[in-house]
Structure 1
């Protein structure tokens, strides 16, 4: 017995087409048990292009789907991402004043028996280290400073000596996925859902404005914040994070490069503002910029003016677009015969680029828990518990960036540092990390998106370190720690020397895409 023979996806964009192409590859390989996949999207609704940065997980997802990596550069404006640079989050200063820190993708290595995190803190608490950890303990910030690619010119597709993500145009990515899906057999229907028919199994069919009726065994809701199937039709309750994650709007505006053909940054810049933060991302032919803010403290006009000031000297490409964000999650992402993905399921503000990742993770996890017979409950309940736990963990990770800030200069920052209530889990972790450095057993989850080192990058960058240093330090001779960090410095220098500039690598891949044969 197979759980279903037909599947309808409501909604396009990145979520819908990522689901369609991934599931077509995963479920459509056996001609003896064909699965019909139909995607319905409205021509009246444009994709929300806020999430133009990704986590490294997208590489394996696209490899599985069969998208050539060069096509990301040739058709989706891609550049590569070494990590995020945070400016002004600690004290409200600028980069020149040293108020910055990095969250790279690479993991600190062990040397001389201890992690470089421990070696760095050993020297720091002895008064022998002044530099931030990411300037001495890991590699990718050196590539960020030099605007270098994390990939070498000869690196195979989707592989590199070091981990990396992408900056890309999310709308163009959706178009790339759409073409691949249609080419591989996904049925594409353009129309607007006007009615949802229910039955005991959940959803029986959807009717479009033109009268067409589309029935299926299973439905996937990719309708965005409106959550037409899971939220409206099946009435699964929504749990808001709005009282703790205060940013609920964004204004976005692409701009031209100041110097077309000049150097491209291989990292995202996140700059703290009076009522939120701005992002600045280098794509090949333009910059993606925006301001994520709390409407409680900032009007749309004020936000647009702030973004315009940040973009002074850059020519805007189109008008600024205000996006309203519903931050939180539905209490169940899988209800009866309906699975919600992306914004239809939940949303964590875009600070750590988790939007596309949550779609990927949900799809992969759903396939793991897909029951043999329709209507089975145990797998569905376990899936829902895991997804809810993941959203809550990501909520805490993003919240960390705000609540340990030393800023008290605006009502927004005072609300975060003096009023927002932390979850019991985050309170316990911060209490623990006042006494020790983060380690894997503190997280204690096999499916955690961000490991102990990711939490450490934020804590160390915000100078929120163990109050009395590391208990291991008395047992580590300082010369051992110096030797460990000297080894890292050699690796950093070699990486910069060997890596092409981000512009050079992007040009190479764009040319490769242009010259590739088309089927």
Structure 2
């Protein structure tokens, strides 16, 4: 081996971030023969939050690249499929009807002279249908609780992109088993001291001994056990843009005849929003809120009222959220990934995506034991860009709201004041469709112009367009989409049936 090549990597912290990173780096460096010693140190006394995870669709590519069997992954993590997010109550009711829109992972690129989005605006189709219903197949799947799988779909493939609802604790255990089988060394130990020399971590002292390494990766969560000792004042808060700082999470039992939904729901409440994520074994729910306006007891009571008086609560957990990210994710020979590097509130299910991005960028940046500052600067610039882009996308959901029933929602409309770039874009999008070039050069490639349009038009932020168009040509686009939607429902599987084929032992799938 080259004398300057990395010989050892130590990851501190398990959970999703630790084991995803371990699995990825082991696959990268040791896929043919063992060249880099990779160990993961975690304490069994430090529990995984495990409140349940929804994902973006691109996480499928990570699991596939790791060689994981999709059916086994679904079984081991009590998983269901996710076609997108159904947003409820984010705008004021109209004519007594609750506001609702759907953000799927897919947008049909139909149209000849005019694209489908511009055609939808010009034909004023908002008068009788939601934007997602007019431009995607997933809206029809969601409405009928179908999933994107056909009976003969190959692993990680469907007629539309999809993500997952996973049990986070079960996933960590599953990934740990796969990583250890692949050669990652697992050490259960409690970190007692981090030894720093010359801006680098020399070793970590644990109750099981001292461990040295070329590279250290901090996956210890908000505590930042490794990254914190390296530099003070290394955190940038997103509190002004995204003020929700607490969450109460509940695991609840299914009622009789309930079956898992193929989508996440995000319902706006008085001082934040509530998620509902359906697993095969239970339903995960929670309330993300701004603690300046309600306390823990009030938030828990409001969530219970939202879920219904007859709901059976299995477990309740109160969480503190540290929304923001590191100024420098990479210091010396230490890289922070996952919650130790940063956190964007979970509105668009970006937690696992950010772990995936952080780990993958290491593959192009860890090129030596003697890392140049230019390499660290590159990684830090890219990760900061990713977090900044995602922050603006989340702010978009809040600042477009017209709700004025609480101080939280009145303040939410002004959150864009802290995002000058987004403010300028919103002014532009009053007069033109949001298109690829408006966001070109960004970092968060998971959310593109297609995703922005679902939020913009789902919340009634339509551009004023005055241009000639042929009505018949436009209508042909939507006739074609309707035909495609009907065909998608014919060939796709009901979510319940697909899950029964994966989890034949799960009673909740059949509503029993």
CA distance in 2, matches of 1:29, 1:255: 41
Question: Match of 1:78?
Answer: 79
Q: 1:138 aligns with which of 136, 139, 151?
A: 136
Point out the more displaced range, 314-323 or 146-155: 314-323
In the superposition, relative to structure 1, how do residues 220 and 93 fare at CA in structure 2: closer, same or farther (>3 Å)? farther
In the superposition, relative to structure 1, how do residues 283 and 512 fare at CA in structure 2: closer, same or farther (>3 Å)? closer
Question: Match of 2:42?
Answer: 41
Q: 1:456-479 deviations in whole A, cap 9, x for unaligned?
A: 10010110111xx224x41x2111
CA distance in 1, matches of 2:66, 2:313: 32
- Measure how far apart 1:371 and its partner are: 2.8
The question of whether the paired residues in 2 share the 8 Å contact of 1:10 and 1:220 is answered with yes
Question: Match of 1:486?
Answer: 479
CA distance in 2, matches of 1:156, 1:481: 34
The question of whether the paired residues in 2 share the 8 Å contact of 1:293 and 1:303 is answered with yes
- Measure how far apart 1:211 and its partner are: 5.2
- Measure how far apart 1:111 and its partner are: 1.5
CA distance in 1, matches of 2:287, 2:47: 20
Matched, 1:462 2:459: yes
Question: Match of 1:180?
Answer: 178
The question of whether the paired residues in 2 share the 8 Å contact of 1:275 and 1:298 is answered with yes
The question of whether the paired residues in 1 share the 8 Å contact of 2:52 and 2:277 is answered with no
- Measure how far apart 1:150 and its partner are: 1.1
Q: 1:101-144 deviations in whole A, cap 9, x for unaligned?
A: 010000231323322111110100xx795212111221101100
- Measure how far apart 1:283 and its partner are: 1.0
Question: Match of 1:342?
Answer: 338
CA distance in 1, matches of 2:55, 2:238: 22
Q: 1:218-275 deviations in whole A, cap 9, x for unaligned?
A: 0000000011111244436100001110111110011111135x43211100000000
Question: Match of 2:103?
Answer: 103
Q: 1:397-423 deviations in whole A, cap 9, x for unaligned?
A: 001101110101101101112466331
CA distance in 1, matches of 2:147, 2:170: 22
Question: Match of 1:499?
Answer: 492
CA distance in 2, matches of 1:482, 1:314: 46
CA distance in 2, matches of 1:334, 1:92: 46
Aligned length: 503
Question: Match of 1:166?
Answer: 164
Question: Match of 1:251?
Answer: 248
- Measure how far apart 1:317 and its partner are: 4.4
CA distance in 2, matches of 1:374, 1:293: 44
Matched, 1:91 2:92: yes
CA distance in 1, matches of 2:295, 2:447: 33
Question: Match of 2:329?
Answer: 333
CA distance in 2, matches of 1:435, 1:128: 17
The question of whether the paired residues in 2 share the 8 Å contact of 1:230 and 1:338 is answered with yes
Secondary structure in 2 aligned to 1:435? coil
CA distance in 2, matches of 1:283, 1:259: 15
CA distance in 2, matches of 1:490, 1:110: 13
In the superposition, relative to structure 1, how do residues 43 and 128 fare at CA in structure 2: closer, same or farther (>3 Å)? closer
The question of whether the paired residues in 2 share the 8 Å contact of 1:241 and 1:327 is answered with yes
Matched, 1:395 2:396: no
The question of whether the paired residues in 2 share the 8 Å contact of 1:70 and 1:510 is answered with no
- Measure how far apart 1:50 and its partner are: 3.9
CA distance in 1, matches of 2:102, 2:343: 24
Q: 1:133-159 deviations in whole A, cap 9, x for unaligned?
A: 111221101100000011112110111
CA distance in 1, matches of 2:93, 2:424: 27
CA distance in 1, matches of 2:47, 2:312: 20
CA distance in 2, matches of 1:238, 1:272: 29
- Measure how far apart 1:319 and its partner are: 3.2
Matched, 1:352 2:352: no
CA distance in 2, matches of 1:55, 1:355: 9
Q: Give unpaired runs (5+ residues) of structure 1.
A: 514-519
CA distance in 2, matches of 1:130, 1:159: 32
Q: Give unpaired runs (5+ residues) of structure 2.
A: 507-512
- The Cα RMSD (Å) is 1.9
CA distance in 1, matches of 2:235, 2:433: 35
Question: Match of 1:516?
Answer: none
CA distance in 2, matches of 1:189, 1:316: 37
In the superposition, relative to structure 1, how do residues 463 and 348 fare at CA in structure 2: closer, same or farther (>3 Å)? same
- Measure how far apart 1:10 and its partner are: 0.4
Secondary structure in 2 aligned to 1:106? coil
Secondary structure in 2 aligned to 1:436? coil
- Measure how far apart 1:313 and its partner are: 4.6
Question: Match of 1:120?
Answer: 120
Structure 1 length-normalised TM: 0.93
- Measure how far apart 1:298 and its partner are: 1.2
The question of whether the paired residues in 2 share the 8 Å contact of 1:251 and 1:303 is answered with yes
The question of whether the paired residues in 2 share the 8 Å contact of 1:82 and 1:165 is answered with yes
Question: Match of 1:8?
Answer: 10
